[in-house]
Amino acid sequence: MSEAVSNVTGQSALPEVTAGTYVIDPVHSWVGFSVRHLMSRVRGRFTEFAGEIVVGETTETSSVTATIELSSVDTGNEMRDNHLRTKDFFDIDETPRMTFSSTTIRADGDSWVLIGDLTIRDVTKAVELQLEFLGVDPTGLQGEQRIGFDAKTSITRGEFGVSFGLPIEGSKIVIGDKVDIHLEIEAALSE
């Protein structure tokens, strides 16, 4: 996925982490979102996703790429999930994937800011994710080094062409425009 540093050994920009390409483990990761709906929030997740975290010897040589299969949306309500897959929202027949490719990573105190291009429905916008490094397991599940991150951001869905809404009288918000995104990622150093 990434054309940056691949399987480099040595000290990285993160203490105790071997520089190299880490593949996201979907079994131990979670990609979720929440959005205002009427008087509450709907929470959901995507169950099919893949990606790589390239930890370089410097921050400048580090990168992240990811792909999310939009058909894998799961809000716990089959009727709503089927509607999200239509042209009203994700239009999975025309644009089956959401993608992310980082452009910059910078330190922010004890955490990081990951900046990159998010593409939904063929619309690409720059987003900033607040990134927390959760640590490193040098021996992992099968002897491979593993790293963990927690990331959060918010997007405006209308900016990505997802503007479906129902007219309603009064001050009710049927579907909010702001979508909060939360990722919990574990990745393993590839051989």
In a domain, 57, yes or no: yes
* CATH number, domain with residue 123: 2.40.128.110
What local confidence, expressed as pLDDT, does residue 173 receive? 59
Pick from 155, 143, 148: nearest CA to 133: 148
Domain of 99 in residue numbering reads as 20-189
In a domain, 152, yes or no: yes
**Picking from 74-88, 117-131, 169-183, which range would have the lowest pLDDT averaged per residue?**
169-183
In a domain, 8, yes or no: no
Dig out the tokens for 8 from the structure.
Answer: 């480099």
Domain count, the chain: 1
Whether the pLDDT of residue 189 is over 90: the answer is yes
In a domain, 53, yes or no: yes
In a domain, 59, yes or no: yes
Confidence of residue 20 (pLDDT cuts 50, 70, 90): very high
In terms of pTM, does the model score above 0.85? yes
CA of 148: how far to CAs of 23, 29, 42, 132, 172, in Å? 11, 9, 26, 9, 39
In a domain, 126, yes or no: yes
125-179 per-position pLDDT tens digit: 999 999 999 999 998 778 899 999 999 999 999 999 998 775 556 666 578 889 9
CA of 96: how far to CAs of 114, 160, 175, in Å? 24, 14, 22
Whether the pLDDT of residue 31 is over 50: the answer is yes
Mean pLDDT in the chain?
A: 88
What local confidence, expressed as pLDDT, does residue 10 receive? 45
In a domain, 10, yes or no: no
The percentage of residues in the chain with a pLDDT greater than 70, rounded to a whole number, is 88
What local confidence, expressed as pLDDT, does residue 174 receive? 73
| Residue 103 buriedness (CB in 10 A; 0-12 / 13-18 / 19+) | exposed
In a domain, 11, yes or no: no
